[in-house]
Amino acid sequence: MGDRRLRTGLRVLDLADAGVQLGCDPRWAVRVPDLTAAERAALLALTPGLPVPATAPGVDVHRWVELLDALQQAGAIVPARPHRPPPPAGGVDAISWSLLDPVGDGRARVDRRQRASVGVVGLGPTGLALATTLAASGVGSLRMEDPSPVRSYDVGPGGYRWSDVGGPRQQVAARIVHDVAPHVATPSARDDPDVLVVVEADVADPVRAATLLACGLPHLSVVVREGDVLVGPLVEPGAGPCLRCLDLHRTDLDPLWPVLLQQLSGARSHRPGELHVPVLAGVAAHLAAAMVLGRLDGEPAAPGLTWQVPLPDAVPRERTWSAHPRCGCGAHPSQWPFADAATGTVGTGPAAG
């Protein structure tokens, strides 16, 4: 029976006369009732991540196989795999994802992350918390950019310290990231990352957004505003709404939005920088990290998905944006070759003029 093992991370709980329960999350918890004392003791002796024994003391062989088959059918027991030492970073993720992975192998997901590269532009407390979360989750390479100095109001939980004030953010951030995950690479090369996260104040810079779109670089927008933070969308060029699509939608709702956008994007050089409320920075950074990791894991968020994290409750509000028909990003069906102008579906007639 050494070719099977109890799923890594699964709790084995004693319910006394009611039996044994494996796991406590409703998505995968399994309860085994009507057990003899020997059967109950044998199940309680199972160790998560280790092979299950071929026999159990005091338990009929056929009954033991029947119990294990039932647990395998329920997903609590999975095929055995060769033992590997824990990854240098992302070990906790490997254990947790072993509970969700169909074959119980969360390590494969972390291995993929170690081969990935993520860029983070803007290293205030939100960007720093994002970078350290990605490093701790197993991302192998982080390119961090922000030459501005650490300010006194950047100091906060799990991030910058008073002794860091005045130092260049990107240098201090590299040190903090290495303290969290010593094996992560922090290159200064200009090679494009797999995903770029841009953390900025007030609005997403439309010039930078257009440049990233033209380069075909997947990018996630995080905008720190007066009393909230906007996370998303994660822009996949040509496959969903871009940041200009969102600005066009906002213009449809408020014709004066272009005036506000111009003033807010042009005012950055005349202000000391964005203010990161600690509770908002923490929630927003982890939402952004989840979006990035989902993309690296091959399970990206829905196109156009954004989260607004507002004061005072910091409870994320979800919204999904569509591609705008007047944007030239190519994500809207009406802009596809041979698209029907009336229905937006792909047809065989001439393109609309």
Question: How far apart are alpha carbons 57 and 64 in whole angstroms?
Answer: 10
Q: What is the pLDDT of residue 89?
A: 76
Q: Is pLDDT above 70 for 267?
A: no
Average pLDDT over residues 16-34: 93
Q: Quick check: helix, strand or coil at residue 318? A: strand
Question: How far apart are alpha carbons 27 and 41 in whole angstroms?
Answer: 25
Average pLDDT over residues 115-140: 95
Instruction: Give the pLDDT band (50/70/90) at residue 341.
Output: very low
Percent of the chain with pLDDT over 90: 71
Give the DSSP H/E element, type plus range, for residue 9: none
Average pLDDT over residues 125-150: 95
Alpha-helical (H) ranges within 206-345 are: 206-215, 243-253, 257-266, 278-296
CB count within 10 Å of CB 94 equals 25
Which tens digit of pLDDT belongs to each residue from 150-184? Answer: 999 999 988 999 999 999 999 999 999 999 999 99
